[in-house]
Amino acid sequence: MEKIALFPGSFDPITKGHVDIVEKGLQIFDKIVIAIGSNAKKTNLFTLEQRMEWIRKIFANEPRVEVKAYTGLTVNYCNEVGAHFILRGLRSPGDFEYEQQIAFANKELVENVETVFLLSSPYYTNISSTIVRDIIINKGNYSKFVPEGIVF
Ligand code: ADP
């Protein structure tokens, strides 16, 4: 059976930290579906179309990566695309505390979906979309934080 992992997030915008997690995930899973979810608590800087386009460009040569958008519960979307795994990246103990609660709730909701955490590489631990957005808004040099070829 094909091992499919869903990598859910806002990706507003995608950063080198996200790409690092996808690359590591590809060593474990057959396919990764990068799924941009609508998060009611977050207002986005970039449109859904723009975020999807950048991700497609970055992984244009990687047929095992797909980009999708979804609404509703992440576990329901996993079932829709046949993913038995949710992939999430961990940068800090704070990330873990938050992620653990969500993973437990997801497990209660759907038994057949397992959350898999991958640790951020040390160099990318301090990168977040929030920081990148702040640099973009204030016209700073964001190039170190985002994949090559992505221009805002
Ligand atoms: P969300 O709104 O769901 O947190 P994000 O786009 O911010 O969406 O993050 C998606 C996933 O990528 C999360 O699991 C997050 O922990 C992970 N992630 C974000 N930045 C990094 C990074 N620098 N290193 C490793 N994982 C990261």
C-alpha radius of gyration, the chain, whole number: 15
- How confident is the model over 74-130, as pLDDT tens digits? 999 999 999 999 999 999 999 999 999 999 999 999 999 999 999 999 999 999 999
CA angle 41, 44, 46 (to 5 degrees): 165
Question: Which of 82, 75, 84, 90 lies closest to 37, judged by CA?
Answer: 75
CATH fourth-level superfamily of 4-137: HUPs (3.40.50.620)
Whose tokens are 């980009």? That residue is 67
Q: Residue 118 is inside which H or E element, if any? A: strand 114-119
SS3 43: coil
pTM of this structure: 0.96
List, edge to edge, every strand of the sheet that includes 4-9: 65-70, 31-37, 4-9, 85-90, 114-119
Instruction: Indicate the top mutation candidate among 24, 91, 119, 132 to test ligand 1's pocket, ranked by most ligand atoms within 8 A of CB.
Output: 91
Which residues participate in catalysis according to the annotation?
18, 42, 91, 129
- How confident is the model over 36-50, as pLDDT tens digits? 998 777 789 999 999
Structural contact between residues 11 and 147, judged by C-beta atoms closer than 8 angstroms: no
Whose tokens are 């057959």? That residue is 30
> What value does the mean pLDDT take over residues 55-72?
97
Ligand 1 center to 95 CA (angstroms) = 9
- CA–centroid distance for 24 within its chain: 12
At residue 132, the pLDDT reads 97
Ligand 1 first shell, C-beta below 6 A? 9-11, 15, 17-18, 20-21, 39, 88-89, 91, 95, 120, 124, 127-129
